[in-house]
Amino acid sequence: MTSVRNSGNSHEPEPQPERLSLRWAVIIAVAAVAAVAVSAAGGLPAAIGTFLAVAGGMHIMVA
Looking at the domain assignment, is residue 11 inside a domain? no
Looking at the domain assignment, is residue 22 inside a domain? no
Structural domain that includes position 43: 27-52
CA-based torsion, 36, 38, 44, 49: positive or negative: negative
Q: How many CB atoms lie within 10 A of CB 58?
A: 18
Looking at the domain assignment, is residue 38 inside a domain? yes
Looking at the domain assignment, is residue 19 inside a domain? no
pTM of the model: 0.66
Q: Which of 24, 10, 14, 22 is nearest to 59 (CA)?
A: 24
| pLDDT, tens digit only, all 63 positions of the chain | 555 555 555 667 777 777 778 899 999 999 999 999 999 989 999 999 999 999 999 988 887
Count structural domains, the chain.
1
